[in-house]
Amino acid sequence: MDNSAELGDTIQEALQGAGEACRSLSGFILQAANHLRSGEIREGNELLAEVLDDFSQVASLLEDVPRCGAFMKEGRQRVMDDLERESLEMADLLKMAVTAQESEDWVFLADILEYEFAQKLGSWDGLLSGLSRPVEAPQSPL
C-alpha cells in the first residue's frame, strides 16, 4: 500500500470518528438545553463549553481534509462543498447562541441548542459519513 492510500485510509477513519462524535455531541447538546430550561444555568453552560470544545476539534479536522489531494480527487468535492455551507450556517447559529448567552436569555439559548444546533450536528454526521465512505469508480460505458 502506498503512502497516499494509507493517508486516505487514515482520513476515512478520522471522518468516521468525527461522525460518531457528532452523534454523541448531539446528545450532550440536548442535556445542556435541558439544564438551561430547568434553571441549572451553570451546569448547562459548562456542558455547552465542553461540547463546543469537542466540536472545534471536529471542525479543525475538516480544515485539513482538502489538503489531501489524493483523497479529494476521489469525487468528494460535492460533500466538502455541502460541509462548507453547513459550516457557515453553524457559525451563524453560534453567533445567535453567544448573543442569547450574553443577554442571559436561557430559554432562547436552550431552543437554539435543541432545535437548531442538534439538528445541524445530525447533518454533519450524515455528511461526514458520506465523506468517509470509499468512492466507487465510475463505470465506463460498454
Q: How far apart are CA 97 and CA 103, in angstroms?
A: 10
98 lies in some domain: yes
Q: How many helices (H) and strands (E) does the chain have?
A: 6, 0
| Residue 16 · residue 126 · CB < 8 Å | no
139 lies in some domain: no
Give the tens place of pLDDT for each residue, 106-127. Answer: 999 999 999 999 998 888 888 8
54 lies in some domain: yes
Q: To which residue does cell 453567544 refer?
A: 98
Label residue 72 by pLDDT band (50, 70, 90): low
97 lies in some domain: yes
Q: Is 39 helix (H, G, I), strand (E, B) or coil?
A: coil
Q: Which grid cell sits at 124?
A: 454533519
Return the closest-CA partner of residue 117 out of 34, 47, 43, 22.
22
Q: Which domain holds residue 53?
A: 3-131
Instruction: Check pLDDT > 60 for residue 142.
Output: no
Give the tens place of pLDDT for each residue, 43-63. Answer: 999 999 999 998 888 887 777
137 lies in some domain: no
Domain count within the chain:
1
